[in-house]
Structure formats: C-alpha cells, structure tokens
Amino acid sequence: MNMKKQTFSLFSGAVLAVALLLVSCHSSYEVTKVEGGRIPMNSVWDAEPDAEAVALLAPYKARMDSVMYHVVGTAEMSMDRFRPESLLSNLIADVLREAAVEVLGKPADMGLINIGGIRNSLTEGDITIENIYEILPFENSLCVLTMKGSAMKHLFENIAVRLGEGVSGMQLEISKDGKLLQASIAGKPVEDDRDYTVATIDYLADGNDGLTAFLQADKRECPDGATLRGLFMKYVEKQTAAGKKVTSRMEGRVVVKE
C-alpha cells in the first residue's frame, strides 16, 4: 500500500470512528429539561469592581464619555412615548416624514414610527448624544414606500389594531377595541387608486410589528446611511444652529373613540 492510500485509509477510519461515537452518544443521551433565567445588569455588579479592569478601561471610558455627554441641543419640554399619541412619537414621525426630501425632493405624505422602537423619553433641558442613543438605540434606517390608497387603508387598520403608533401628516380615529373608524391624509379622505408616500424605517417596511400592509408597497427606496438616529441627530443640530429648542405638540393625530 502506498503512502497516499495509507493516509486516506487512516483518515477514513478516524472519520468513521467519530461518526460512530456521535451516534452512540446521541442514542445514549437526550435532553430532558432546559432551564434559563435573566441576570439583571445593575449596580450590584459595581459593589466590588475589578481594579485592574477599571484601570484598563479608564482611558477608553473617559474618551467615550467626552463624546456621549456632548450637548447637541435643548428640549423645550419633557417628551415621552405612548399610545395612541405622544409628544416624542409625533416628533420622530415628523423627522422621518421630512427626511423623505432626500428621496422624493419633498416631504412624504405620511411619517410612521413604531412606539416600541422608541426606547426612552426625552427630558426637558440639555440633549446629549447619549440621550439620542438611549431613545433610538437601533440601527434602523429610513425607507420611503409608495403605496396605493387601498393599501394605505390596510396600513391604517394595522395601526388601529395596535391602538396607535407614531404618525405624521395624517389623522386616525379608532375604536377602543382596535377597529378603524376614520382616516385622512392632510385632512383629505384617502383615494384607493391614488399613490401615497410613507416615510418609515426598514424594520417596519419589512412588515414587522404587525404592519403587514407595507408588503403591498409598489415601490421602496432606502437611501444608504440614513439611520433614524442620525436623522434625529441632524434635526436637533439644525434646530440648535437656528437658535431653536426642540419641541413637539399634541394634535389629535390618533384618537381612540369611546
């Protein structure tokens, strides 16, 4: 037997032995119970910090803090996020709708953000980069969809089932059991055969969070690098450069009828 054949034979024998061992193990053991839990990451872990690790991370933490604590604007009031309508969800939906100018050359007919995608509130006073990361921690990006009015009505029904989301440029009336009662865009009824544009995030454009109507879109444009967090940051900086505070208002965009 030559060396190549001998080597191949040894290799084949090793593979067969491993395969037989795995089969044997599989037949001898089986999973009977799986347990899991959560470990809260809180101040308890700071009670006895590792001095060596703290010293190692100190220069990086100082550099990061100098960036994250940088003030980029001022909030005129505290803003929270909740259904059916809130100051912060209105503001972010407005930012999305205006950001569609990059794609359409004008604002979209409608802006939409899911309440679940807004992870913190905005407190009156200084707005830091850290605040913006806490509010919008995900790498969600702008998507502009073109949809027929008939598909828009399905979108409104999706929103009604969820008892509201953050919207801009439109008005919804829904029942407390999640039924769509009335909807309009820019104060006008929606026409089935007319094209409408919606500025939202890629996560929702994929039909997530129950917004399956987006899958009926005729056109979808998602510009590179246009993250929602980046768009919001630019908005805050633009307001600051103009000597304005960041503000919002309640307008009855989503109303739940008793």
> Which of 56-65, 123-132, 201-210, 249-258 is predicted with the least confidence, judged by mean pLDDT?
56-65
Sign of CA dihedral 142, 148, 149, 150: negative
User: Residue 39: what are its φ and ψ, rounded to 5°?
Assistant: -110, 115
Query: pLDDT tens digit string along 87-120?
Result: 999 999 999 999 999 999 999 999 999 999 999 9
> What are 103's two structure tokens?
């794609």
What's the whole-number average pLDDT of the chain? Answer: 91
The CB density around residue 244, as the number of other CB atoms within 10 Å, is: 13
Q: Which pLDDT does position 10 carry in this prediction?
A: 47
Q: Which pLDDT does position 248 carry in this prediction?
A: 98
The CB density around residue 31, as the number of other CB atoms within 10 Å, is: 5
Distance CA 174, CA 163 (A): 7
- C-beta separation of 108 from 169 below 8 A: yes
Q: Which pLDDT does position 139 carry in this prediction?
A: 94
The beta-strand segments (E) located in 87-155 are 110-113, 125-128, 142-148
pTM here is: 0.81
205, pLDDT greater than 50: yes
At residue 1 the predicted structure's pLDDT band, cuts being 50, 70 and 90, is very low
3, pLDDT greater than 60: no
Q: Which pLDDT does position 4 carry in this prediction?
A: 42
Distance CA 251, CA 258 (A): 18
Q: Which pLDDT does position 2 carry in this prediction?
A: 47
Does domain 66-257 fall into CATH 3.40.640.10?
A: no
The CB density around residue 96, as the number of other CB atoms within 10 Å, is: 31
Question: In angstroms, what CA-CA distances link 4 with 14, 18, 87, 150?
Answer: 15, 21, 74, 69
Query: pLDDT tens digit string along 34-65?
Result: 889 988 888 888 888 888 988 999 889 888 88
CB-facing half-sphere around the CA of 123: CA atoms within 13 A: 5
- C-beta separation of 148 from 122 below 8 A: no
- C-beta separation of 164 from 172 below 8 A: yes
Question: In angstroms, what CA-CA distances link 38 with 62, 72, 134?
Answer: 30, 35, 21
Q: Taking Cα atoms as reference points, which of 113, 109, 119 lies closest to residue 203?
A: 113
- The stretch 3-17 carries a mean pLDDT of 49
Q: What is the largest CA-CA distance in the chain?
A: 89
- C-beta separation of 224 from 135 below 8 A: no
Q: Which pLDDT does position 14 carry in this prediction?
A: 56
Q: Which pLDDT does position 198 carry in this prediction?
A: 98
Q: Taking Cα atoms as reference points, which of 124, 131, 126 lies closest to residue 87?
A: 124
Q: Which pLDDT does position 154 carry in this prediction?
A: 98
Query: pLDDT tens digit string along 138-188?
Result: 999 999 999 999 999 999 999 999 999 999 999 999 999 999 999 999 999
DSSP string, 117-131: G--S-B-SEEEEHHH
- The stretch 13-37 carries a mean pLDDT of 68
